[in-house]
Structure 1
């Protein structure tokens, strides 16, 4: 199925770009950290059999945009999602993963009428202490490693202390990612992403006003804190449903895209009220 690039303008005039494929109900995809819209390619290809899938090229991870005024804010990324929803035709369905899941929740809170429902996969939402523990410590250590010319080390710190991966796995992930030039350039933005999530703080009161169906998705092999964040969201979202994938973790969208696609399709079928 052919893929094109769909463009529109955000509230501040910045162009918003998304990979566009398929036909049917509109499904907006907001990927996790380190994703420039390409991570969800396999998942989108499966979903495009039934939906018009728009994979947002997240502003934070677009290397073509100048960052002279510093990193973008979570609010700017939310504006991008809302602009995409308006341009594509409302109400749309929404899928968000990890930090992209938080951006999706913020978009739902800002304009629930723009969306028919959402699937949120293990969002990196602050529900208590800052992500990674003591405020600013992980960000400072990761940035110091990047400044010393060791971006892979910076990512390993993030993976271990914020994501919660075992030390060996975090070290391996950082070492591998740091060897790929394109990913090396994205690592500092992942640390910016972490800081943006912590700057948002606890937003459970805002999410409690989201008046559309939300499916909270997770894997039983993911770090325990991600399930705890889903617990907190399930408690406050008025129309929340929960699905736990057995033997899956935070990378289920890559390792089991058919399973994730099936869950999304089933959710849309159960909530789509169009004639």
Structure 2
């Protein structure tokens, strides 16, 4: 595995890893994750048998730098920089807010993309009222990063048993990413069905049965609004699927 950086359009240094051989595939994390922490880590290892897999730290996370003011377009430019490193064209896989970033990248050279539970639509998972964002930002500014992480995860409906597990071994890593939760809020606010309808690439939208009927319905609605979209619901856990099972579906779709 090779670790290096690429410079985005605004000068931000984006750290990434490259592993495997085959067609280029860029994995885009959701909230509270970076390239060495989160569900993409085991997934990348499985996919590297069939693809050249690029995992990267979204700006402000891990070893990537950051440039203010934040904008969603700058995150799209980060993806574009990684795709250029990959040879100018790549498949995309985005998880949660990372799926929204994949959709926002529809003008890039992306032959196919997979969106896992993209939080598009009204209510519940995709709802961040202005007062919520203001309060979240205040907690970060006051150094109450743990409170900010808990507030965000409670708001998106993370089950109590999952929260209990997060609050022990991984909590310091989550606190380090607290400021980027505001970026995820901005991405949700910027991504509506008009953006979805702009995606011309063949797109597979996935959801986990365990996340719940609301998310499955939202994922199906995203697929219905895509010009070339389909939806599949998979057996899995809350907001996730076992990497081996997920990789089989991705390989079938990208290679089909």
Q: Do the aligned partners of 1:218 and 1:244 also contact (CA within 8 Å) in 2?
A: yes
**Secondary structure of the corresponding residue to residue 59 of structure 1:** coil
Cα deviations by residue, 1:64-106 (Å, 9 ceiling, x for unpaired): 5255x34x32111101111211231233111110111111111
Partner of 1:77: 75
Distance (whole Å) between structure 1 residues aligned to residue 46 and residue 215 of structure 2: 26
- Which of 8, 11, 15 is matched with 2:9 structurally? 11
Distance (whole Å) between structure 1 residues aligned to residue 248 and residue 228 of structure 2: 20
Distance (whole Å) between structure 2 residues aligned to residue 134 and residue 99 of structure 1: 13
Q: Do the aligned partners of 2:13 and 2:65 also contact (CA within 8 Å) in 1?
A: no
- Greater shift, 131-140 or 216-225, is seen at 131-140
Partner of 1:233: 222
Task: Please tell me whether residue 165 in structure 1 is matched to residue 154 in structure 2.
Answer: no
Partner of 2:237: 248
Q: Do the aligned partners of 2:149 and 2:175 also contact (CA within 8 Å) in 1?
A: no
- Which of 165, 172, 178 is matched with 1:187 structurally? 178
Alpha-carbon shift at residue 129 of structure 1 (Å): 5.4
Distance (whole Å) between structure 2 residues aligned to residue 11 and residue 73 of structure 1: 12
- Which of 258, 262, 267 is matched with 2:244 structurally? 258
Which aligned pairs between 1:141-220 and structure 2 lie closer than 5 A? 141-147=135-141, 149-161=143-155, 163-166=156-159, 168-169=160-161, 171-172=163-164, 175-176=167-168, 179-180=171-172, 182-190=173-181, 192-202=182-192, 204-220=193-209
Q: Do the aligned partners of 2:92 and 2:114 also contact (CA within 8 Å) in 1?
A: yes
Distance (whole Å) between structure 2 residues aligned to residue 195 and residue 49 of structure 1: 34
Task: Please tell me whether residue 98 in structure 1 is matched to residue 96 in structure 2.
Answer: yes
**Secondary structure of the corresponding residue to residue 60 of structure 1:** coil
Q: Do the aligned partners of 1:153 and 1:175 also contact (CA within 8 Å) in 2?
A: no
Partner of 1:46: 46
- Which of 111, 115, 121 is matched with 1:120 structurally? 115
Taking structure 1 as the reference length, the TM-score comes to 0.82
Task: Please tell me whether residue 23 in structure 1 is matched to residue 16 in structure 2.
Answer: no
Taking structure 2 as the reference length, the TM-score comes to 0.87
Query: Structure 1 residues 223 and 232, CA, compared in 2 at 3 Å: closer, same or farther?
Result: same
Partner of 1:273: none
Q: Do the aligned partners of 1:30 and 1:100 also contact (CA within 8 Å) in 2?
A: yes
Q: Do the aligned partners of 1:60 and 1:77 also contact (CA within 8 Å) in 2?
A: no
**Secondary structure of the corresponding residue to residue 29 of structure 1:** strand
Alpha-carbon shift at residue 16 of structure 1 (Å): 2.7
Q: Do the aligned partners of 1:132 and 1:138 also contact (CA within 8 Å) in 2?
A: no
